[in-house]
Amino acid sequence: MTKHEIKIAFTDFDSVEELIPADLQLCLEAEKALASSHSPYSKFKVGAALLLKSGKILHGSNQENVAYPSGLCAERVALFHWSANHSDDPIVSMAVTAHTNEFPILKPVTCCGGCLQVMAECEKRQNSPMKVLLYCIDGPVWVLDGVDSLMPFAFFEERLVQST
């Protein structure tokens, strides 16, 4: 028997104002993306913004549907838009934030497992990690160097063939 331990690293900033300008800007873009959220059921808006290598910024927001499983998270709305339209322009960083009028949000929202899996595949396709900025509008920002820190056991296509 061998017991393993995985350590992850992230940087905790007290406020968005402490970030370098490009990261600060991307967090504010994620905040802008909240406006397009369609979330009448949860009343929980999520915004995502991608910074591409060219400097282009893409927005995504959570899109709910009365048939609940038909909806999609902000991160995947942004990532699938990138995949369909801009996949030759690598993602440098991704910012995610959330807002609701129902209660104060005191910590950054973290991505769900489904989004992490898609983020991991986007990184693999572009052969470079994306910085992840988890932004709490009135609180801290958590910054990670790549998706591996959030999902070290992502599923990749190598698993679809017999390993030796």
Task: Tell me whether residue 27 or residue 46 sits nearer to Zn ion (CB atom).
Answer: 46
Contact between 78 and 94 under an 8 Å Cβ cutoff? The reply is yes
# residues contacting Zn ion (CB under 5 A) = 3
Among residues 75, 121, 123, 157, the one annotated as catalytic is 75
Give, as ranges, the residues between 54 and 73 that touch Zn ion (CB under 5 A).
73
Measured from each CB, the residue nearest to Zn ion is 73
Of residues 8, 65, 112, 125, which one binds Zn ion by CB under 5 A? 112
Burial track 77-97 (b if 16+ CB lie within 10 A, e otherwise): bbbeebeeebeebbbbbbbbb
Residue 55 vs 113, nearer CB to Zn ion: 113
- Binding Zn ion (rule: CB under 5 A), the pick from 19, 27, 30, 115 is 115
Q: Does 132 bind Zn ion (CB under 5 A)?
A: no
- Measured CA angle at 134 (ends 128, 137), to 5 deg: 145
Query: In terms of CB distance, is 25 or 149 closer to Zn ion?
Result: 149
User: Smallest Cα–Cα separation from 87: which of 47, 34, 127, 142?
Assistant: 127
Binding span for Zn ion by CB under 5 A among 52-60, 78-86, 104-112, 127-135: 104-112
Catalytic-residue membership of 75: yes
The beta strands (E) that lie in the chain are given as 11-13, 45-52, 57-61, 91-99, 131-135, 141-144
* Site residues, Zn ion (CB under 5 A): 73, 112, 115
Q: Which residues are catalytic?
A: 75
